A and B are shown apart, each in its own frame.
Chain A
Amino acid sequence: MSEPTEPVAPKDFSARSRSRADAVAAPIAGLRRSRPAAVAARREAGLRWLLRGATYGMLAVIGWILLDIFGKGLPVITWQFLTDLPRASGAAGGILPAIAGTCCLVAGAFALALPLGVASAIYLNEYAAPGRFVAWTRLAISTLAGLPPIVFGLFGLGLFVLFLQFGASLLSGCLTLACMMLPTIIVGSEEALRSVPAFLRHGSLALGATPWQTIRYNVLPYALPHMVAGALLGVARAAGETAPILFTAAAFYIPRLPQSILEQVMSLPYHLFALTTQYPEAARIRSMQYGTAVVLLTLVLGLSLVGIVLRNHFRKKLRW
């Protein structure tokens, strides 16, 4: 159990105390800065800039990557590029099947993982008494969150593709990605449930509601939008992953829209990978590669951004 701590000071504690100290110290003669203190202050300022440099330096590198991709890729994006079928093994034409394939993969995975994740979160947060089962489940969830995507790929290959004989297919890909999304959805949904204040539960129970009625009518309606927002982060991550679908779903070149859940599909991340490394004269189709990268980045960052903004909105929104 955590011990009660003292009330927490305002968040901008350091900044505030600094300015207050300056304001007080200045006019009092006996409290002027001594020489060693001045040296320390200079060192401190240097360190401050160093830390700032680390932050913005790395951000600049990431910015360089994004600028390069968008700068060279955006001019490629046309309506045709987005809505045409690919030609010549992907060297020409559009990327519609890859967009559609990725959308199908993540939508299917989301449809599988969301109910499971929300149900798990409800059980863990509203029903389960602390104990061995909860401890093991939490360990399992964090394990899932930390496993490399390629391990999910191997697992999907072993279980869905080979053992259950779904073959390399949209179905196998969805199932594999769903396993990968699950921990993000559970963690986000638990956060959403915890943000629903206790009086809604107590008030409902006091009116003679059963625990499930309470959750169903007085907790879930307020938590669900928050849950979906959090789940979008998992969806975005899954949409950008290549390794899990490498052996379970991804096809190099199928110049038509997905037809059945039992066939392979093209997908954006794999398409980018294939165009860059599997294509004989990869350097000649840079524009196709950049265009695909832009679409993939926009999709993934867009979903993430919507998820983060909505979730932070729900964190603050309610007046309780």
Chain B
Amino acid sequence: MNILVLVKQVPDTSDVKFDERGVMIREGVQSILNVFDQFALEEALRLRQKYGGEVSVMTLAPEQAKTAVQKCLALGADKAYHISDKAFGGSDTLATSYALSLAIRKAGNFDLIMAGNQATDGDTGHIGPQVAEWLGIPHVSYVEQVLSIENGRATVKSILEDGYRIVDVELPALFACLPPTNFEYTNPSMSGIIKAKSKPYTWWKADDIDGDKSKFGLNGSPTRVLKMYPPPKRSRGTVFTGDYHDAVKKIIEALMEKKVIE
């Protein structure tokens, strides 16, 4: 079972601030491995343990994203592909997924491609499905668990707004993964960190992958970000203070007044 996991380095969104133009202040903000991708990787490592094979990771990002990729290797991935070139600057999700699909073809045959359902910075959820479309393979989004793999097919649990569905899909396929609530992320072990150093790490530039170069970077991106703005600040709301029983009474009165309850 050869599995590829697509990963991205993102700013740590637990402490994000915006300037007066609405642009995120990146200074002093730590970069981390997108948590959705880490979940996809951990699920891939679980599958490797069960079915054997190899887990590779791939990113298309500037050089500094190496720390996120190294973390994947420290967590147990066997090898890494890092595609980095100025030619990819300004890529939207279409151009990114196109370049990734070319790199995937070059990297070899994978039975399964996994990715985070979305990244915590852009939050588009585009990359996984788009890569699958470029490669012409089926995909399932919101995958919480790969239940089984048998005879070239996989059964997965995909989360819906009001429940879940079990999907049976032919491999190779791409799964965009969504961690369950309270998923306990693994910390890389000391020995994992040491071993990561000696694992294969392949760097590719734009010239290393075959494809239509006019579809790379800004030129290949049909979408443009015209303006970014943070969501309007919400007011603090009404705070009911005092004794527990009094406060509950006041809340009920307020809700009745607004006709939320009768």
Q: Is the pairing of A and B real?
A: no
* Residues of chain A having any CB pair with chain B under 8 Å: none
* Residues of chain B having any CB pair with chain A under 8 Å: none
